[in-house]
Structure 1
Amino acid sequence: MRAVTLGTDGRFSVAEAPEPVPGPGEVAVEVTHAGVQWGDVLVRDGHFPVPRPFVPGFEAAGRIGAVGEGVDPGRVGERVVALLTGGGFAEVAVAPAALAVAADGLDGRTAAASGWTTPTAYDLVGTVAHVRPGESVLVHAAAGGVGGQAVQFARLAGAGRIVGVVGGREQTEYAARYGCDRVVTRDAFPAALEGEAFDVVLDPVGGATRRANLTLLAPHGRLVVYGNIATFEPVAVSANDLLGQGQSLLAYNSSLLATTHPARLADSAALALAEVAAGRVRIDVTAEYALAETGEAVGRLAEGRTRGKSVVRVR
């Protein structure tokens, strides 16, 4: 089969690879499209140590072509989106059966783009932050895949005011289309929000942005962290200061959840995808690349030149 491999030189290339066979509790997915996400950048840059050559790709859509021991053979032929630990940029990918989620009503592009992004956005808003009607929400990276969908899930939850932060002016109109009441650029943050306070802040950025977010929390506000796009620099937080204002610092790690409670993640994915299939949440696929262009797709994401979601066409 054809697959993209990440070599020791840090380059992506298309090569022939052995077709993987599903083991116990696994399914083999005949991949049509694979999503491009930040994990691909982290692997490329060496933040996730993996043996190379490595077949990257953490989210893939297609049909189940074979099942391993203990998996219902009736699932063969089922259209799914698979949440993976790698191997998505290939014609066949193996996934845990529990994390191959039915993608009925979605085309291959949309299903692949949902990947980890859609359940993450759903969980950030509903499971972790518990956004309530009338609350104010601040969403960083609001022009990205998770951020754009988080804005929409927050609106469905009844948020009263949603402010998005984006990388540059060229992204402000795009983020506003998702439903932000106001959009500010990263270079204007946090000064542009002086005097405002938020019940919920969603932060995948880290560093100085994380420290600024703490100052923007309203009493009983929740800061939800789920990444370190800008820096892995640790941020110290005083539990006493949080206690004094009834505030919370919460973390969400979907990769860990897939290992510790896969059924819980799959449930969130199914509920979130139902909102997409019903048209209440939009996944914006802004670019589609050929398999040989995977390196370009990952590079554009790393450079902040991607809006919404990008996918790679595998078949």
Structure 2
Amino acid sequence: MRAVVLGTDNHFRTVECAKPVPGPGEVAVRVSHAGVQWGDVLVRDGHFPIPRPFVPGFEAAGRITAVGDGVDPSRIGEPVIALVGGGGFAEVVLAPAALAIGAEGIDARTAAAAGWVAPTAYDLINTITGVGPGDSVLIHAASGGVGTLAAQFAAAAGARRIVGVVGNADRADYARQFGYHRLLTREEFPGALDGESFDTILDPVGGATRAANLAHLAPHGRLAVYGNIATFEPVAVSTNDLLTNGQSVMMYNSNLLSRTHTARLAASTTSALAQVAAGLIRIDITAEYELADVGTAIENLATGATHGKSIIRIP
């Protein structure tokens, strides 16, 4: 089968390799589309200690073609979205059966684009911060895969005001279609807020942005941290100040969740996909690449040349 391999020289190559065979509790999925996400950038840039050569790709859609011991053989032929720890940029990927989640009623392109971003956005709004009617929400990276979905989930939860922060004016124009009431560029944040505070803030950025977010958190507000796009430098937080204001800083790590509470991640994915299938939530695919162009797709994501969601087509 064909697969994309990231080598020790930091280059991506399409190679021929043996088709993987599912072990106990696993399924094999014939991949038709795979999603491109920030984890691919982090792996490329060496932030995860993964031995190379390595087949990247953490989200893939297709049909189950084989099952390992302990998996119901009637699942063969089932359309699924597979959340995996790698191997998605290939014609066949192995996935834990519990994280090969049924995608009936959703086309494979959309299922691949849903990937990890759909359950992440769903959990950030509904499970972690518990956005409810009347809440105000601030979302960073508002034009990205998680940001565009989080705004829609927040609106569905009854948020009265949803503000987004993006990299530039072009990204603001793009993000407006997802229900934001106001959009700021990175240069405008936080000065243009004029002291406005928020019940929920979603922060994948870190650094000075994280410190500014704390200053704009309302009493009893929730700051959800789920990444470090800008910097991995730690940000000091006074728990005494948080206690005084009834505030919370909450962490979300979907990769860890997949290993420690698999059923919970699967349930969130199923709930998110149900809203997508019902047409309540829209996933915007803005770029589609061939398998040989994985390196370009990841570079375009890293440099901000793309917004929304990018996918790889594997015919």
Residue 281 of structure 2: aligned partner: 281
> Residue 128 of structure 2 aligns with which residue?
128
Match of 2:96 in 1: 96
Q: CA deviation at 1:68?
A: 0.3
Aligned length: 315
Q: CA deviation at 1:17?
A: 1.2
Give the CA deviation at 1:105.
1.1
Q: What amino acid maps onto 1:19 in structure 2?
A: K
Partner of residue 50, structure 2: 50
Cα offsets for 1:263-315 (capped at 9, x unmatched): 10000000000000000000000000000000000000000111110000012
1:77 is matched with 77
The aligned counterpart of 1:178 is 178
| SS of corresponding position for 1:171 | helix
- Per-residue CA shift, 1:30-83, capped at 9, x if unaligned? 000000000100000000111111100000000000000000000000000000
Asked if 1:8 corresponds to 2:34, the answer is no
Where does residue 221 of structure 1 map in the other structure?
A: 221
Q: Specify the SS of the correspondent of 2:15.
A: strand
Match of 1:27 in 2: 27
Question: Does residue 203 in structure 1 map to residue 203 in structure 2?
Answer: yes
Name the CA distance, whole Å, in 1 between partners of 2:141 and 2:40: 17
**Counterpart-to-counterpart distance in 2, 1:192 and 1:93:** 46
1:133-186 residue CA offsets vs partner (Å, 9 max, x unmatched): 010000000100001000000000000000000010111111111000000001
Distance 1:306 1:228 in 2: 19
Letter in 1 for 2:187: D
1:290 aligns with 2:282: no
Sequence identity, in percent? 68
Cα distance in 1 for residues equivalent to 2:169 and 2:247? 32
Letter in 2 for 1:67: V
For 1:108, the equivalent position in structure 2 comes to 108
1:266 matched to 2:275? no
Distance 2:194 2:215 in 1: 10
* Cα separation, 1, equivalents of 2:168 and 2:17: 40
Quote how far apart the aligned CAs of 1:194 are.
2.0
Per the alignment, residue 61 of structure 1 pairs with 61
Aligned letter for 1:306? T
Q: How does 1:133-172 map to 2 (within 5 A)?
A: 133-172=133-172
Give the aligned partner of residue 187 of structure 1.
187
Q: Does 1:302 align with 2:312?
A: no
Q: For 1:192, what is the secondary structure of its paired residue?
A: helix
SS in 2 for 1:187: coil
What SS does the corresponding residue of 1:80 show, helix, strand or coil?
A: strand
Aligned AA for 2:251? A
Secondary structure, aligned partner of 1:170: helix
- Rounded Cα–Cα distance in structure 1 between residues aligned with 2:307 and 2:104: 25
The TM-score, its normalising length taken from structure 2, stands at 0.99
Q: Report how far residue 108 of structure 1 moved.
A: 1.1
State the shift of 1:6 in Å.
Answer: 0.2
- In the TM superposition, residue 130 of structure 1 has moved relative to its aligned partner by 0.1
Q: Matched residue of 2:235: which SS? A: coil
**Residue 220 of structure 1: CA displacement?**
0.4
